[in-house]
Amino acid sequence: MRLVATGGTISNRAGGRLTAEELVQSIPELPRYADAEFEQFANVASSQLTLAQWLALARRINALFRDDPSLAGIVVTSGTDTLEETAYFLNLTVRDDRPVVVVGSMRNPSTLGYEGAANLLQGFRVAADPAARGRGVLVVLNDEINAAREATKTDALRLQTFQTRGYGVLGVVDSDRVVFYRKPERRHTAASEFDVSTVTELPRVDVLLTYQGAPGDLIRAAVDAGARGIVIASAGAGAMSGTQFEGVQYARSRDVAVVVTTRAGSGRVTAGRGAVIGGEDLAPIKARILLMLALTNTRDPDELRRIFAEY
């Protein structure tokens, strides 16, 4: 097993961040479950990770799996603020069915009740479990296992923040064993078509919110600033407001892809026809990630619609 540490609250001790080695050493019972190696990829807040670092992280994980067939799985530490984004990006770009488990913590190591060591131990236990193979990238916090595609941070402060609205957890980590209840159905990891080994830069995709009287000129501004894709976090199941539809028409006239999702927190926006693409049940920030990767392969609306249906 290998820990790839990127930083986040789990490492953010007062007076200096914990290193990957210190994180492993903070779990005395870890050798019962895994022979853990470790490396420091980064040590920053998750919101400071760049898209270039996302690409580098995916390439590093793919290289670790490629170069070591005996490697059972990988645990990645991340700050929780953008953990769901990093996890979903890896879910689409790691080309192996061995488990990648992303963990973090809501409290820092200098705080009473710090849960980072427990989350890290549970992450290693999940990654070491043969049943985790083939389930895509997993998010493990608070003794619960969620799919990277579905996990959402639902509270700014509480330990139970990561949840899967509507579908429920994939499994749990209890004292006796890891228990799985279901598998994700959408394409991921080893079945993904996205190869980032030669991608040097992800295309710009912006997310814009629908609200009463929303101006379409914000969409025009994003397009004029270089966006190759736009994700609309719409009201309800796809409704836009104000002059947003005119903004969408402008985007399409400039060959900019437009994906419509919902701001509601759950629910599906249907595939649609013509100018716009339905984001299915993806959260807006995850639709952005899928669209960025899709645009490295195609701009054809029908192909983009297929990709959103399959992933």
The CA distance from 141 to 118, in Å, is 9
Question: Which residue of the set 9, 80, 189, 261 is catalytic?
Answer: 9
261 an active-site residue? no
The CA distance from 134 to 103, in Å, is 18
Catalytic residue annotation: 9
